[in-house]
């Protein structure tokens, strides 16, 4: 794809995102056919938004999640500043089609992880982390049937990015906690509605973060200090509606809250 076609695809996706409109698929003339083309459109999508990139998300970090969107492995997407909020958040569902929430471990970086000639190890990546945050993701897709469009188009669409909420940073002793076995629970309107563990995210959220660091080092210009990375859902995605009140409880790591309106 040349730059003009990348621009056309990205602008169509951004317009659909803003309007809450769904499309069947990108037109043949500027539909990405490879992972590389998908990431090129994704980068241009961020440019078209006029917003800075606040961080990254990972989609499909479990086999069930991969089956749900029709992919064989995880996908990386950009988080936009205008779609990200601090907890407690009040968010509109006006342009959100999926209307599901996910509970996720999110990490904020202390320093850059730029592209280089070899992969980053988990120890290297974790040494670059400033803080851990409980988080809620509200994913969405600009495609009517996101399970049928394939990885290049899903990546172009920022890996089903929608809205994102992050809580206060966990106490400094979070590094001593086994994140794989750490339970998380979701309350919906005051009633327990879901639960899971960090192990549901590629076996451990730290492993997921390492995957993302290496993916972005290859596909983009690496992770940047200050960016936040949310590592995929620990629970079964849970349906919400206008009026829903959501609380994610990460035990000693803290809580995260969001309320949803029309």
Q: What is the pLDDT of residue 68?
A: 76
Q: Give the C-alpha separation, 260 to 244, whole Å.
A: 5
**What does the block give as tokens for 186?**
């979701």
Q: Which residues contact 117 (CB under 8 A, 6 or more apart)?
A: none
Q: Give the C-alpha separation, 188 to 141, whole Å.
A: 23
For the chain, the domain total comes to 1
Helix (H) or strand (E) holding 217: helix 205-219
* Interval 223-247: pLDDT, tens: 999 999 999 999 999 999 999 999 9
Q: What is the pLDDT of residue 71?
A: 87
**What does the block give as tokens for 24?**
């069947």
> What's the number of CA atoms in the CB half-sphere (13 Å) around residue 131?
14
- Contact assessment for residue 161 and residue 139, using Cβ atoms and an 8 Å cutoff: yes
Structural domain boundaries, residue 46: 3-261
Q: What is the pLDDT of residue 72?
A: 85
Where on the phi/psi map is residue 136: left (φ > 0), alpha (ψ -120 to 50), or beta? beta
Residues of the chain with pLDDT under 70: none
- CATH code: domain of residue 33: 3.90.850.10
- What φ, ψ does residue 142 adopt, rounded to 5°? -85, 0
- Contact assessment for residue 230 and residue 79, using Cβ atoms and an 8 Å cutoff: yes
Q: What is the pLDDT of residue 65?
A: 77
Q: Give the C-alpha separation, 201 to 194, whole Å.
A: 15
Q: What is the pLDDT of residue 163?
A: 98
**Residue-wise burial string across 130-169, b where 16 or more C-beta atoms lie within 10 A, e elsewhere:** ebbbbbbbbbbbbbeebeebbbbbbbbbbbbbbbbbbbeb
Q: What is the pLDDT of residue 63?
A: 75
């Amino acid at each position: 794809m040349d730059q003009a076609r990348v621009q056309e695809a990205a602008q169509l996706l951004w317009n659909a995102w803003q309007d809450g409109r769904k499309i069947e698929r990108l037109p043949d003339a500027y539909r990405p056919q490879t992972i590389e083309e998908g990431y090129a459109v994704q980068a241009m999508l961020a440019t078209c938004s006029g917003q800075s990139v606040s961080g990254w998300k990972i989609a499909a970090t479990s086999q069930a999640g991969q089956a749900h969107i029709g992919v064989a492995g995880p996908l990386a997407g950009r988080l936009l500043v205008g779609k990200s909020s601090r907890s407690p958040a009040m968010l509109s569902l006006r342009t959100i089609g999926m209307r599901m929430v996910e509970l996720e471990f999110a990490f904020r970086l202390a320093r850059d992880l730029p592209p280089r000639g070899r992969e980053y190890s988990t120890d290297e990546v974790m040494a670059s982390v400033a803080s851990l945050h409980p988080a809620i993701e509200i994913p969405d897709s600009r495609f009517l049937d996101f399970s049928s469009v394939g990885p290049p188009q899903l990546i172009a669409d920022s890996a089903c990015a929608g809205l994102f909420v992050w809580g206060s940073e966990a106490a400094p002793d979070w590094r001593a906690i086994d994140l794989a076995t750490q339970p998380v629970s979701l309350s919906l309107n005051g009633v327990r509605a879901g639960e899971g563990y960090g192990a549901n995210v590629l076996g451990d959220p730290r492993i997921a973060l390492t995957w993302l660091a290496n993916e972005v080092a290859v596909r983009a210009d690496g992770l940047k200090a200050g960016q936040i990375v949310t590592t995929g859902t620990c629970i079964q995605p849970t349906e919400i509606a206008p009026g829903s009140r959501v609380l994610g409880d990460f035990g000693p790591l803290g809580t995260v809250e969001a309320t949803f309106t029309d």
